[in-house]
């Protein structure tokens, strides 16, 4: 097993590719720059079998739609993250540089009351 790490998207968030000896891989948190990620996959002749999302913030999901459609693979995330991924105000994909930040000790909306 090998793990490739790419820093993608506006925040250069880590995207991981867990690759087995047969070049099958799982993409974890494709945060952006779908073209760079797809080039890496093609250049290394990888067979992506799934996309995993650790949580639904924009910097972890920015390339999910493009990559999953391009490669015809399923996306897996915890059921609670589906709501975050589908809602721009929760995944922080709109206005995050302009709106005031509320400091919370964890990553996702579930802990905000």
**Sequential DSSP letters for 60-76:** HHTTHHHHHHHHT--EE
Dihedral sign for Cα atoms in the order 65, 67, 70, 74: negative
- Which residues are paired to 51 by β-bridges? 27, 75
Q: Rounded to the nearest 5°, which phi and psi values hold at 52?
A: -110, 140
Q: Which CATH class is domain 2-111?
A: alpha beta
Per-residue model confidence (pLDDT) at position 57: 72
User: What are the angstrom distances between the C-alpha of 79 and each of 46, 50, 62, 83, 106?
Assistant: 28, 16, 18, 8, 17
Q: Locate the domains of the chain by residue range.
A: 2-111
DSSP alpha helix (H) spans, 19-63: 34-43, 58-61
Per-residue model confidence (pLDDT) at position 93: 54
- pLDDT tens for the chain, 113 residues long, are 999 999 998 889 899 999 999 999 999 999 989 999 999 999 999 999 999 888 777 777 888 889 999 999 988 877 776 666 666 655 555 444 434 444 444 444 444 43
65-69 contact pairs (CB < 8 A, 24+)? 66/34, 66/38, 67/27, 67/30, 67/34, 67/37, 67/38
């Amino acid at each position: 097993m090998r793990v490739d790490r790419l820093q993608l998207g506006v925040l250069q968030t880590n995207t991981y590719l867990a690759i087995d000896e047969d070049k099958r891989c799982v993409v974890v948190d494709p945060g952006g720059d779908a073209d760079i990620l797809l080039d890496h996959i093609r250049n290394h002749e990888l067979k992506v079998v799934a996309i995993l999302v650790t949580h639904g913030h924009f910097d972890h999901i920015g390339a999910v739609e493009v990559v999953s459609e391009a490669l015809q693979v399923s996306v897996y995330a915890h059921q609670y993250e589906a709501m975050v991924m589908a809602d721009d105000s929760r995944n922080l994909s709109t206005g995050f540089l302009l709106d005031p930040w509320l400091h919370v000790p964890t990553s996702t909306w579930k802990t905000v009351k």
